[in-house]
Amino acid sequence: MTEKIALLVDSGMDTPTEITQLDGVFVVPLSVNYSNGSFLDNIDITADEIYARLDEEIPSTSLPSLEIIEDTINQIKKEGYTHILTVTISSGLSGTHNALRLLLDDHNDIHTHIIDTKSIGIGGGIQAAYLKELIDKQYSFDSLVEIGELLPKKGRVYFSIPTLEYLKKGGRIGLVTSIIGTALNLNPVISCNNEGIYYTVTKARGRKKSLQKMIDQLVEFAGESKDYRIGIAYGTCIEEAETVKKNILEKLPLASNVYFDDVSPVLGVHTGPDVIGVTILDLN
């Protein structure tokens, strides 16, 4: 049987725009919820619109609606796909993974598999981007499943966040040290552990040192690797992100793909406007 494989992701993955615009890629949006209504992530609301309203209200977020998930699966089948490879943000940070898994299990007329990236934002998105590369190279579904299940251990994501205010208010603080005070000007670098839970990797006094420590973590993880992908995501701080990208590529010049994009609205809710995230996927 000829395999026609769809890639299904959620919007919290920050899968690069150049990937989500390709044929065969489907995105189910999470929701951003205000007191006066809910908005679909990156469809009805942008990250900039959220940042502009943070002083008035910090919204909550919720997983994709079951109706949207169901409609998306049916659309995939309608377009003649025989297999669905689903890649989601960490089950340790969101119920999105389980919601998709439960609905996919109801569709016995199409082959499905779901991968928990144990990551979030561009850290998950870079895994999805790589799997799309392999889909387009005609890898078999069984091979994609085998490779995809190994990717969470091959990747790392790091975020520099000047304030933990938004993570705390959103209930996503995980294992991150929550006593870091802005008065001390301590900027944490956070990541996801093996269970896909946020934790503090390191902290630095001031933004510049925090960004440098974040880059150092990425370079340390790369080690002597000669085959890797890099991703950078940002809030409103595109100029700082450009500098981070330049510094990373000076130290890791062999990246075969470099993704550079803004964070999704739903992630911006929890990180605030000054977030910068970097990720590496080591394919050695």
All structural domains of the chain, each given as residue ranges with its CATH number in brackets, are: 5-153 (3.40.50.10170), 155-282 (3.30.1180.10)
Which pLDDT tens digit goes with each residue over 21-55? 999 999 999 999 999 999 999 999 999 999 999 88
Give SS3 for 33. strand
Residues in contact with 69: Cβ distance below 8 Å, sequence separation at least 6, in sequence order: 28, 99, 100, 103
Average pLDDT (189-201) is 91
Pairing of strands 186-192, 155-160: antiparallel
Q: Cβ distance 154 to 282 under 8 Å?
A: yes
Rounded (to 5) percent helix, strand, coil in the chain: 40, 25, 35
Name the nearest CA neighbour of 256 among 87, 129, 86.
129
How many Cα neighbours within 13 Å face the side chain of 240?
22
User: CB count, 10 Å around CB of 61?
Assistant: 22
**What percent of the chain shows pLDDT beyond 90?**
80
Instruction: Measure the CA–CA gap between 75 and 242, rounded to whole angstroms.
Output: 37
In this prediction, residue 30 carries a pLDDT of: 97
Instruction: Measure the CA–CA gap between 119 and 195, rounded to whole angstroms.
Output: 9
Instruction: Measure the CA–CA gap between 225 and 174, rounded to whole angstroms.
Output: 30
The radius of gyration computed from the CA coordinates of the chain, to the nearest angstrom, equals 18
Pairing of strands 31-34, 60-62: antiparallel
Q: From residue 179, give the alpha-carbon distance in Å to each of 81, 182, 183.
A: 49, 9, 11
Q: What is the mean pLDDT of the chain?
A: 92
What's the whole-model pTM score? 0.93
**What percent of the chain shows pLDDT beyond 70?**
93
Which pLDDT tens digit goes with each residue over 117-168? 999 999 999 999 999 999 999 999 999 999 999 999 999 999 998 777 766 6
**Edge-to-edge order in the sheet of strand 111-116:** 25-28, 5-10, 83-88, 111-116
Pairing of strands 111-116, 83-88: parallel
Name the nearest CA neighbour of 187 among 170, 212, 218.
212
